[in-house]
Structure 1
């Protein structure tokens, strides 16, 4: 009888654990519906928030910061012009302040900005129009894909190619809506959507970002199609 009671207590404990896990998962889904959908949910004007919802209440668990460290350097662009991508992004950001429209305009004045990208890639882009939330990286370019971290606004992203799929995030508006086009990027996968990562051209692992949330640096953005 004592053994039966002990066994019942263990089963009751497991059931309580399972119920607690279920409730915690429900809270997560209610708090971050974009996790379930795999896309971003807020859009203000033409600002896409293919992004991360409000992650200020859920601090990034990564100490790795996107941007210039570890993924910058001199890049050869059209007509053999050599630019330092760190300087280009910093100069544009400094001139634009918090205005992303001006930031994108400043990028268009950089050397090579009106020319097709050269070489074999990857080619540099930067995250735009994502405010304080950032842009999600995903493990695929279809609706069923899952987030594998995010980059901060104006983080530097290295792109191998662009794919056209059947999936356009529903909340993308204005000039950021480029249809179902996704950039294949160099990206170390992170465990959670709220984990902030970086794109490193030396990394072989890939992920996907929505093309409408990226702006080219030092070229006109016309990179090759994936599979070509």
Structure 2
């Protein structure tokens, strides 16, 4: 004859057996708990790394470890190139001749520019006046703002016209050669702007006041 068992008593017994089984498993395999903990920590670190990697970086900010490799031209790597230019300026102090020498020491300075336009240049030898941007490369062109000395300029191509600014002398006088640059037109020549590689508008700057950054300056001639 079958004996009826009390259901609540069975449940308690089952729970007690499960508890003992878990305790035994934990004692016998402590690495299981550590594996779970490590896995959780790993996921947390990965999430933090992804979030940190997505934080925006201000152009011109030096980020240790990012800016120590060769300059890659044509990829609009503004942060690295701006940082390299700033380091050259720091070494040179107020001497633009020394500044140009430091630019020539940068990786790739003696090589033809790689990739595609635009390519980086720095304004040189213009003192506190800076370098005018113009809406043309001829004498009757109008100024559309200016860039500060040692500013980073993005150049698409080089053109030769019939006009050489009358004030240029020495090695800055390269004849009637002009750089077509990425530049948003400003209302007054006294307005100071910046060159942005993603700017669709262009202007002209005198080539003799520009020094190439990370390449030898042999970029294509303008067409059309």
TM-score range, shorter chain: 0.5 to 0.7
Counterparts of residues 50-129 of structure 1 (less than 5 Å): 68=60, 75-77=71-73, 84-129=80-125
> Please, which runs of 5 or more residues in structure 1 have no aligned partner?
1-66
Counterparts of residues 183-194 of structure 1 (less than 5 Å): 183-194=179-190
Contact persistence 2:73–2:119 (CA under 8 A): no
Query: Does residue 199 of structure 2 align to residue 203 of structure 1?
Result: yes
**Cα RMSD after superposing both structures:** 2.0
Contact persistence 2:73–2:116 (CA under 8 A): no
Contact persistence 2:146–2:190 (CA under 8 A): yes
Matched residues in 1 for 2:127 and 2:73: separation? 29
Counterparts of residues 1-228 of structure 1 (less than 5 Å): 68=60, 75-77=71-73, 84-227=80-223
Contact persistence 1:77–1:112 (CA under 8 A): no
Counterpart in the other structure of 1:15: none
Structure 1 residue 212 displacement after superposition: 0.2
Q: Deviations over 1:12-69 (max 9, x none)?
A: xxxxxxxxxxxxxxxxxxxxxxxxxxxxxxxxxxxxxxxxxxxxxxxxxxxxxxx948
Matched residues in 1 for 2:210 and 2:180: separation? 12
Q: Deviations over 1:190-225 (max 9, x none)?
A: 000000001000011000000000000010111100
Q: Which has the higher helix share?
A: 2
The structure showing larger relative contact order (alpha-carbon pairs under 8 Å, at least 6 residues apart) is 1
SS of the equivalent of 1:76 reads coil
Q: Which has the larger radius of gyration?
A: 2
Contact persistence 2:145–2:191 (CA under 8 A): yes
Contact persistence 1:134–1:151 (CA under 8 A): yes
| TM, length-normalised to structure 2 | 0.66
> Please, which runs of 5 or more residues in structure 2 have no aligned partner?
1-58, 62-66
| TM, length-normalised to structure 1 | 0.65
Q: Which has the higher strand share?
A: 1
After the TM superposition, list the runs of 4 or more consecutive aligned residues in structure 1 that deviate by more than 2 angstroms. Answer: none
Contact persistence 2:118–2:155 (CA under 8 A): yes
Matched residues in 1 for 2:210 and 2:84: separation? 15
Structure 1 residue 117 displacement after superposition: 0.4
Matched residues in 2 for 1:127 and 1:77: separation? 17
